[in-house]
Amino acid sequence: MTNQEYIRQMPKIDLHCHLDGSLSAHTIRELAKNADIALPEDLPGLMSQITVPQSCTSLSEYLSRFKLPIACLQSAENLFTASHNLLADASKENVVYMEVRFAPTLSMREKLSLDVVIDSVLQGLEAGRRQFGVAYGVILCALRNHAYEDNAQVLSAAVRYGDQGVVALDLAGDENRFPTHKYRALFKEAASKGIPFTIHAGEADGPTSVRAALSFGAKRIGHGISIKNDTDLMEFCFENNIGIELCPVSNLQTKAAASWEDYPLLTFLNRGLPVTVNTDNRTVSNTTLTREFGELDAYYDLDTKDLETLFRNAVNVSFSDYRHKQRLHETFDDFKAKTQTTNW
């Protein structure tokens, strides 16, 4: 079995996947029809609106590809369909668990309530789980460019839905214009209510952003590329088991990393950090977990031990409960036993 075939067959976990950035062209067409939104008839024309080119120059250009997907996510029906279809797509590459994140306030433009938005996504994911066998958790995103009051409502929803599939809170948006340290009050409140959280940090901003997120009590860091520039910060993340949600293809597209040579995967792995590999935005980045691992293998010649470590890191730092983590570990145990009997 080749390394690429091993990657194709192995079970996978995606801890950093944005719903709005992961709607396939087929799903976009279905949602746009429901919403009476006109689309280009040709596939290249549509893809140019929802996928960045390889020549993407910045995070700002990257974020421009969310306009159409968000416009399509303004009804309960479309939120259900989008969530259901995401798990259908993920199941095709042996994803066994996803933590799907989204900002519910972005789907309230046509007067949907916050609870209806969240209920619709949870119902779609549950239908997808039953049909395709992909387990899930939901991470609600507060947004850097939104008022504290709006983000506090998202936090309150995370509390209300904590026993219904919502597993954590996140902070997303323009890291440079809205520095992480300004959100201390929000996450102090989250910590007081026992809500775990991950924070986008160290992608468009430096180690200071990561340090702020960790000072709030973040258990994971979204992207976290700039951690590589601070040895003390790496040591802190190692000692405190801070999960790092790398999204390789996206990180190169947004220029969070300058090149594969500059990418910190091996630096983090060799230091023993609980680093994970994720998609970020399947459609915007034109990626899958199979592609992410395949690209990493092509540049770093990963072996099966590395791939297993990345899977088990994802299990260990996930926001899933202990029993589900045990089952996920057993899933890889079964895969490993099967590949050993086929002369890997």
Distance of alpha carbon 342 from alpha carbon 198, whole angstroms: 39
Distance of alpha carbon 118 from alpha carbon 151, whole angstroms: 14
Distance of alpha carbon 139 from alpha carbon 255, whole angstroms: 25
Tell me if residue 292 is catalytic: no
Answer yes or no: are the C-beta atoms of 102 and 143 closer than 8 Å: no
207-216 vs 184-192: helix crossing angle, rounded to 10: 30
184-192 vs 148-160: helix crossing angle, rounded to 10: 20
Which amino acid, 335?
Answer: F
Alpha helices in the chain (DSSP H): 3-9, 25-35, 43-50, 59-63, 67-72, 76-91, 114-132, 148-160, 184-192, 207-216, 231-239, 248-253, 265-271, 289-300, 304-317, 322-340
Which positions are catalytic? Answer: 203
